[in-house]
Amino acid sequence: MLIEDDSVLGAAVRDHLTSDGQSVDWVQRLDEATRALEAASFDLILLDLMLPDGRGIPFLKRFRGRNEPIPVIIMTALDQISERIEGLNAGADDYLVKPFDLAELSARIGSVGRRYAGNPNPSLIHGSLTIDLADKTVCRDNKYISLTAKEWVLFETFIAKPKQLFSKQQLEEKLYAFEQDIESNTIEVHISRIRKKLGANIINTERGLGYRLGSA
């Protein structure tokens, strides 16, 4: 998602990233960004710091408080060292000072993406659960909860994109590495087992649509 109020720069960044094969949702206000994040999941956020309805730093701090492992690159004309430090300390993964070359933006996006492929935030908190993405473990009250390999793959899918609604077919595709022939009730069975281990509300069923991460 691109959060940038400058129409010329925003259009240039959007068009450049689209030509790179990326899908770009562009908003120009923080309230629009908040609504977008509540409705969908994103692989990257490009954040301007001075928006019509507020500063990007408080927005970034609130976003990082949700423990969502999504990279954030700041794009701003504010080039003081103190401002860069503030942005990085607030949770930004990189910092680009305007004006910048679009090729450099692509390179930085690639660099951040490679870091995140190795789990930049391996430990997450979701309700009463502590989830270590690197070790593939789940704890509650300092007690480990054992998940099978298939259960972990499904649970990790929800944790990686906590706002996203997943169809049954999308979840079945996650299990193809284990078996090619998947029974019609396989997803229901595994989700039922995950609920028994992690809580009845950990995964919500939206009837006729699919499944979404719930509360723990």
Residues 82 and 150 in one domain: no
Tell me how many domains the chain contains.
Answer: 2
- Find the CATH number of the domain harbouring 112: 3.40.50.2300
Residue with tokens 């103190």: 82
Residues 80 and 98 in one domain: yes
Neighbours of 68 (CB within 10 A): 19
Task: Give residue 207's domain range.
Answer: 123-213
Average pLDDT on 129-149 reads 87
Residues 34 and 133 in one domain: no
First to last CA, the chain: 28
Residues 140 and 154 in one domain: yes
Q: pLDDT digit string (tens) for 162-174? A: 888 999 999 998 8
> Greater confidence, 58 or 160?
58
- Find the CATH number of the domain harbouring 184: 1.10.10.10
pLDDT greater than 60 at residue 181: yes
Distance CA 29, CA 177 (A): 41
Last residue of some domain: 117, 135, 162? Answer: 117
Burial class (CB in 10 A: 0-12, 13-18, 19+), 16: middle
Q: Residue 69: how many CA atoms within 13 Å on its side-chain side?
A: 23
Residues 61 and 91 in one domain: yes
CA angle 92, 53, 39 (to 5 degrees): 65
Residues 81 and 178 in one domain: no
Residues 24 and 41 in one domain: yes
Q: Rounded to two decimals, what is the model's pTM?
A: 0.56
Q: pLDDT digit string (tens) for 185-204? A: 999 999 999 999 999 999 99
Two tokens, residue 58: 């408080």
Average pLDDT on 49-56 reads 94
Burial class (CB in 10 A: 0-12, 13-18, 19+), 175: middle
The closest alpha carbon to 127, from 190, 66, 180, belongs to 66
